[in-house]
Structure 1
Amino acid sequence: MMEKTTEQKLNNVQCCVIIPTFNNQKTLQKVIDGVLLYTKNIIIVNDGSTDSTSEILKAYPQIEQLHLPENKGKGNALRLGFKHADSLGYHYAITIDSDGQHFPEDIPVFINTLEKAENKNLLLIGARNMNQESVPKKSSFGNKFSNFWFWAETGIKLQDTQSGFRLYPIHHLKHLKFYTSKFEFEIEVIVKAAWDGVTVKNIPINILYDETERVSHFRPLKDFTRISILNTWLVIVTFLCIKPRNIYRRFKKKGIKRFIVEDFLGNQDSPRKKATSIALGIFIGLSPLWGFHTVIVLFLALVLNLNKAIAFAFSNVSIPPFIPFVVLASLYMGNAVLGLDHTYTLTDISMDFEALKHLKTYIIGSISLAVVASLSLGLLSYFLLLLFKNKKVTTANA
């Protein structure tokens, strides 16, 4: 049986190639001709070029072309390309830069990886060898910087997050909202794709940095500032919304019993790490940092390399039904620390929120309560977990 060609594979999965271009007259024709060896399903987005790009594209009337009257940025060009590809019935799109750094010969690598993948909800990023001599140091640094923030925002470690040679599952992404239009779009799209359950992974590709022909439109100060602002926002959303949502979904899917068995008792973390995670969760949950418990506990669990699921679960000691009791206990703890003898009731707290009238007592009491409870329950859970672990080992050796 004859092996399918790359063109047939691209057609079978309804995949096209999108080439965004802006003032790359030296390399554009070579890139187009290289892609045509593999497919005629090409969409070129001329992002307001002012050089001879328009004249070059006249030689390719058979190719879908979008000509923008003015330059709006690579992100905008890609978003328009995705929208047009979707209107033509394509489900996937491979994007390749027009500056000549990518090799069209790597297109089969993308399509073969997609064809073999069980999960077709897949976004592939070509991983460049950033250690070779021709790669500018600023590009290598920028890539490491981007890789770190992508990991912080998604928990996924990648070798290369800035390569423009990618395969996008545009039929999976079209319901997502994007707000950026410059180079930072390529970060926004992979982060939001990962948040939405798309598998994001690297595949190896070749790279060529020919400074005599390559024209880069990346503006270090402006674009790096844009990227930094975007990453700041994405990190905030990650800790305020995405990580709590993911943990809650896991907890809801598993149920309390399965969560305890798998994430708590069955987890491979040491008793010390689990107990410290419990102590952290209880401390933050009882602290007077209302509204910020989740983001703080997840951030600290990440920084301290603790179990995020356990820390988050125990930080919910102050969920709404328990809040009046937590406040009441904090007020009486504050009384004890400050040597006061005020009397408080649940009715007072519920009706008048007594903590506001005795704010100093409440804050000191809640911090004291958090310290005592976290240390006590942390130590207790450590010994119980250690006992459980030893019993489990003894049973396995019996």
Structure 2
Amino acid sequence: MIKQTKAQLVALNCCVVLPTYNNQNTLKRVLDGVLNYTTNVIVVNDGSSDKTKDILNNYPQITALHQSKNSGKGHSLKIGFKHALSMGFDFAITLDTDGQHFPDDIPNFTNHLEQSANKNQLIIGDRNMNNANVFAQSAKGNRVSTYWVKAVTGLSLNDSQSGFRLYPIKAMKAIKWLKMTKKFEFEVEAIVKAHWINISITHVPIKVLYDPKERVSHFRPFWDIARITTLIIWFLLVKLFYVIPKNFFKKLKKKGLKQFIAEDVLYTQDAPKKKAFSVALGIFLGLSPLWGFHTVIVIFLAMLLKLNKVIAFISSNISLPPFIPLVLLLSMQVGNWVLGIKTYYTLETFTKNYDLFQNLKSYLIGSLVLSTSSALVFGLLSYGLFSWFSLKRSARHA
């Protein structure tokens, strides 16, 4: 197995990158284990104040990069990857030096990648976080991270925080890493940005050992979870304001309006009921008094409710700028009718003479009634339309 793995690492042009900080009790054991498979090892000493430097001096066959001060695991990984790329490597395996990972699991990664037709993968070691031997704080941090990673990417991962990974560093070379991701949150950034450039995220099983007698963990439950959550919020904003709109218009431009509507709106694989709810959501939010936030809210809710984001987004554009005066007029008229106020306006008199803020009550009530009733009407109509198209498509392929 060792001989086979050595050959695989050479064939894959893969090295091992080890970030380390004050792990003098376990560093030698990890290095000895890794060196069974390869001497292409890059250790990034992140400003350790213990005997780490002395231990590394005993391994002249490895590359040791010493940092003058401690900056964090993410910072060390970025330095290690940059150096590995300068040495011409295409892949890099990372594992922690605190003793929790077993170097003899390296073959799990090389076998998986060698047997896969797709080499464009980021492979994460699955620690089986439901195991009773896993520290509660590590399991909690992983659950938080995994939940938010799914919110951003849609990926259902088992272990988003495992540091035992195989990175396609050459394929990820163009990624611009955030300066703020210096600690454990970098591993979340790597998953999200790899996914955004169409790198597959996969798992292989690994063993894990949490020995409180010798393991020194630098994970700070409160602050590191807070940093991960902050990063995810940033990614959600980027996704809502940039990624989804960019992909939407890119697809629209590529296909053309007619083909786009036929394939992505009318003939999507979603059920008519799901598409009708998407229309209703878009209409409701588009006519609601949430000016300036329609797009963000409709995409967020479509993601949360697992509806069709394209249809919901298109439907919400009922409140595009040219239609705003008409939407305001209708909302006001409906509000006056509900409140029993017998005052009516034409579009011309409304836009010239009406003070919306003085009649805010009428507008708010009217917009809520109008948005709700319109969502119901258009939702039912679209359900009938989508059902008809679905039957038509089934008949065509029968």
Please give the TM-score of this superposition, normalised by the length of structure 1.
0.88
Greater CA drift, 29-38 or 108-117: 108-117
| Contact 1:6–1:38, Cα closer than 8 Å, also in 2 | yes
| Structure 1 partner of 2:384 | 383
Aligned residues: 389
Residue in 2 that maps onto 1:48: 47
Secondary structure in 2 matching 1:173: coil
Q: CA RMSD in A?
A: 2.8
Superposition map of 1:108-127 within 5 A? 108-127=107-126
Q: Is 238-247 or 159-168 further displaced after alignment?
A: 238-247
DSSP-derived class of the 2:43 partner: strand
User: How does 1:1-398 map onto structure 2 within 5 Å?
Assistant: 5-175=4-174, 176-179=176-179, 180-319=181-320, 323-338=321-336, 339-345=342-348, 360=360, 366-390=367-391
Kept in 2: contact 1:93–1:170 (CA 8 A)? yes
Letter in structure 2 aligned against 1:214: R
Aligned letter for 1:384?
L
Given the superposition, is the C-alpha separation of residues 313 and 328 from structure 1 closer, same or farther in structure 2, using an over 3 Å criterion? Answer: closer
Query: Which sits farther off after the overlay, 126-135 or 110-119?
Result: 110-119
Cα distance change of structure 1 residues 344 and 394 upon mapping to structure 2, 3 Å threshold: closer
Shift of 1:22: 0.7
SS in 1 for 2:170: helix
Structure 2 vs 1, CA of residues 34 and 384 (structure 1 numbering), >3 Å: closer, same or farther? same
**Cα deviations by residue, 1:329-353 (Å, 9 ceiling, x for unpaired):** 432441353243334349x96xx89
What SS is found at the alignment partner of 1:160?
coil
Shift of the alpha carbon at 1:376?
1.8
Cα shift at 1:150: 0.4
Q: Residues 43 and 84 from structure 1, CA distance in 2 versus in 1: closer, same or farther, beyond 3 angstroms?
A: same
CA distance in 2, matches of 1:358, 1:240: 33
Deviation at 1:169, TM superposition (A): 1.7
Unaligned runs of 5+ in 2: 337-341
CA distance in 2, matches of 1:336, 1:21: 66
2: CA distance, partners of 1:252 / 1:119: 28
For residue 326 of structure 1, report the CA deviation from its aligned partner.
3.7
Query: What is the CA distance between 1:23 and its match in structure 2?
Result: 0.9
8 Å CA contact 1:244, 1:294 repeated in 2? no
Going from structure 1 to structure 2, the CA distance change for 1:387 and 1:56 (only over 3 Å counts) comes to same
TM, length-normalised to structure 2: 0.88
Query: Mean alpha-carbon deviation: is it higher for 387-396 or for 233-242?
Result: 387-396
Q: Per-residue displacement from partner, 1:208-232 (whole Å, max 9, x unpaired)?
A: 2222221111122222222222222
C-alpha spacing 1:246/1:394, structure 2 compared with 1 (3 Å): closer
CA offsets per residue over residues 309-344 of structure 1, 9 Å max, x none?
Answer: 32123223344xxx2234224324413532433343
Q: CA deviation at 1:356?
A: 6.8
Matched residue, 2:339 = none
What SS is found at the alignment partner of 1:172? coil
Identity %: 51
Indicate if the aligned counterparts of 2:287 and 2:327 stay in contact, CA closer than 8 A: no
How big is the shift at 1:115?
A: 2.7
Aligned residue type for 1:209: Y
Amino acid at match of 1:344: L
- Contact 1:178–1:189 at 8 Å: present in 2 too? no
CA distance in 2, matches of 1:5, 1:253: 46
One-letter amino acid of the structure 2 residue matched with residue 45 of structure 1: V
Q: How far did 1:380 drift? A: 0.7
Residue 141 of structure 1 and its aligned partner are, at CA, apart by 2.2
Residues 94 and 166 in structure 1, CA contact (< 8 A), matched pair in contact too:
yes
Contact 1:334 1:365 (8 Å CA) reproduced: yes
C-alpha contact 1:271 1:386 (8 A) present in aligned 2 = yes
- Pairwise CA distance, 1:247: 3.6
Please, which runs of 5 or more residues in structure 1 have no aligned partner? none
Code of the residue aligned with 1:340 in structure 2: it is T
In 2, Cα distance between equivalents of 1:105 and 1:317: 59
CA distance in 2, matches of 1:4, 1:60: 21
Distance 1:359 1:172 in 2: 58
Q: Deviations over 1:68-106 (max 9, x none)?
A: 111111111111111111111112211111011112122
Query: Displaced runs of 4+ in structure 1, greater than 6 A?
Result: 352-359, 394-397
Map Cα deviations across residues 25-66 of structure 1 (whole Å, 9 max, x no partner): 111111111111111111000111111111111111121110
The offset of 1:357, in angstroms, is 7.8
SS at match of 1:5: helix
